[in-house]
Amino acid sequence: MQLTDRINTLSESITIAVTALAQELRAQGKDVLGFSAGEPDFGTPRIIKVAAIAAIESDKTRYTAVDGIPELKQAVIDKLKRDNGLSYEMNQVIVNNGAKHSLFNLFQATIQAGDEVIIPAPYWVTYPELVKYSGGTTIEIMTDDASGFKITPQQLRDAITPRTKMLVLTTPSNPTGAVYSRSELEALADVLIGTDIIVASDEMYEKLVYKGEFISAAAISEDMFQRTVTINGLSKSVAMTGWRFGYMASADAEMIKATKKLQSQSTSNINSITQYAAIKGLDGSADDEIEMMRQAFMKRRDEAVERFNAVDGLSVLSPDGAFYLYVNIKAVTDDSLTFCKRLLEEKEVAVVPGVGFGLDGYFRFSFATDIEKIREGIGRIEAFIKNY
């Protein structure tokens, strides 16, 4: 079959590919330790599951409004007000099949040939692919561990051209865990004043902050509120990766309406049962579990960082958020792809090569797994490096 150019240029998600490969090897009986998946190892909180069961029992199993049931949209609005200090109306919010789908719809609705999208690197693998698929061009701003993996206002200023349509901001970051402070966001916001650049603020790891406070980009100023699209979901905060729930909110109701049109011709509403369950993930009912998981992740982070930094040839910054370590392997090699392939083959440890995130010489290690596995995995990596 003749495929389209646009699908031929799209790459598969490397985070998903490595995780699938690790699962395949495990099914073949290999003792693979997986640190590639970007998902919590905890179960979904009970109160959310109970709400889902009640939705099934009461036949909440039909098509719903494309953009989500009103109760759920109201729960999103209330959450954004309570946690982030943002005021949105019903027509400024849409519910999607995961935040990845929110981003897909956003890019399809706003980016086209000739448009440039600024993406700080290292970045989550999906963004540049979505830019490509919508016909736009990615402009990377490079960061490294010396800059704490954060862009500076000057870097942003230098990257902007008359064709710049959007800036993607991910705080806390996947894959580095970097979190922008209020003053850092204010400084970036100043650079954008007078432009019509959209800010896509991916706040997926909002609830997983270990140091400092989380600030929404849209909360910085009225100017930022008008230009920012806030994207979030429940996959990471309440361990709901498989349920598929995400949302976006924007002051531009026309843009939201356009994505609703796209969704009406593609996926329609998200799973009706997920919608009823998600209300409980948003309304504070699961806050105790969220805090329990955050504490558990923080403990694992501290131990994993200490262990990695004790290995000759490796170094890692302690991330302020999310559940990834972006481990520097430059003292060993710049070629993360070969490194990670051999690590999987020889030591049966799955991590994601940094090259997939736009910055080689690193690998991403997810610490969303139990501490015994983390210890064993780092031990294997240490043994592997000795003979590299």
| Residues forming the site for ligand PMP (CB under 6 A) | 38, 98-100, 124, 170, 174, 202, 204, 233, 235, 241, 246
Nearer to ligand GLU, 16 or 258 (CB): 16
DSSP annotation string for 331-358: TT-S-HHHHHHHHHHHH-EE-EEGGGGT
Nearest to 237 by CA among 170, 321, 300, 307: 321
Q: Which does 13 bind (CB under 5 to 8 A by kind): ligand GLU, ligand PMP, none?
A: ligand GLU
| Gap between the Cα atoms of 233 and 131, Å rounded | 21
Beta carbons within 8 Å of 175's beta carbon, 6+ residues apart: 122, 124, 324, 326, 352, 354, 357, 364
Q: Which does 98 bind (CB under 5 to 8 A by kind): ligand GLU, ligand PMP, none?
A: ligand PMP
Does residue 15 contact residue 37 with C-beta atoms inside 8 Å?
yes
Residue 38 near ligand GLU by CB under 6 A: yes
Reading phi first (left if > 0) and then psi (alpha if -120 to 50, else beta), residue 144 is in beta
Stretch in the footprint of ligand GLU (CB under 6 A) among 124-132, 144-152, 190-198, 303-311:
124-132
Q: Which does 123 bind (CB under 5 to 8 A by kind): ligand PMP, ligand GLU, none?
A: none
Nearer to ligand PMP, 98 or 120 (CB): 98
Residue count, binding to ligand GLU (CB under 6 A):
10
Nearest residue relative to ligand GLU (C-beta)? 38
In this structure, what token pair is assigned to residue 5?
Answer: 């150019």
Does residue 117 contact residue 111 with C-beta atoms inside 8 Å?
yes
Nearer to ligand PMP, 259 or 311 (CB): 259
Considering the complex, what minimum distance in angstroms separates the CB of residue 171 from ligand PMP?
Answer: 10
| Gap between the Cα atoms of 235 and 241, Å rounded | 4
Among 174, 263, 269, 275, binds ligand GLU (CB under 6 A): 174
* Residues binding ligand GLU (CB under 6 A): 13, 15-16, 37-38, 100, 124-126, 174
